[in-house]
Amino acid sequence: MIIRNIFLLYFLLLLIFNSSAQKKVSLKKQRKIVAAKQINELKNGVLFVRLKTKQKTIEAMKKSGKESLAKKTAYKLKNRNLIITKSFKNYFDFCPVYFFYSSDSKHVRNNNLDSIIFLNDDLSTNKSITITNPTIFIAEFGNIEPNQTITYQSTSHVPATEKRNTYNGGTNFSFKAVVIKDEMFNQLQDPFPYYQRESSGLKEEKHIKGALLALNARLHKFYKNQHKK
């Protein structure tokens, strides 16, 4: 009887282990499928680059009488945005790129593309830009977000009857990088090459250039690898 119970317990543990392993393999495979689809979507879609404005912060400085600090902050931000736009123009060619200010983020989320004020690489407005039914991804320089509630899904339209799966991650880290997100500003996930860390100890122009050169190369490589299969 004891031997039989031990055998049953061993058998149950084996089933649980196999089931757990199959789920991990399935999740890994699904993430690979999603990443492969997303890289194709990005290649054939567009990348909207979000530039920060810090409007609320600057207005708060002005209201508190810190005019000099407000001007300095605005100047530094404009200079950084110019470096970003020029660097994308010169060192990124994986897909078409369009620039917009963070104040227009709500229009991107709501797919009100006609309401977005697009920018040239010198930050002047360009009213001639029209985007028609694209697949949109977002890029921005900022901090990598902790993977607490990340949605692994394709940006393609999904029928209303089809459920999209969501998986939680547990990596708790944050550092400055250029990051790629979906049209709802959800950070993408491995194995998609969704970020490139900024170097430290270099002039701003150099580490932004370096990050974009590396990200562009990784995107091309990942896309090429998907089409080898």
- Confidence class of residue 115 from pLDDT cuts 50, 70 and 90? very high
Report pTM: 0.78
On whether the CB atoms of residues 99 and 83 are closer than 8 A, the answer is no
DSSP code for 87: H
Return the pLDDT at 174: 66
* Concatenated DSSP letters of 73-102: HHHHHHHHHHHHHHHHHHH--SS-EEEEEG
Please compute, for residue 169, the number of CA atoms within 13 A of its CA located in the half-sphere on the CB side: 16
CB-CB neighbours of 53 under 10 Å: 16
Give mean pLDDT, residues 23-40: 86
> Which amino acid does the sequence have at 81?
N
| % of the chain residues with pLDDT over 90 | 61
**pLDDT tens-digit series, residues 177-225:** 999 999 999 999 999 999 999 887 768 899 999 999 999 999 999 999 9
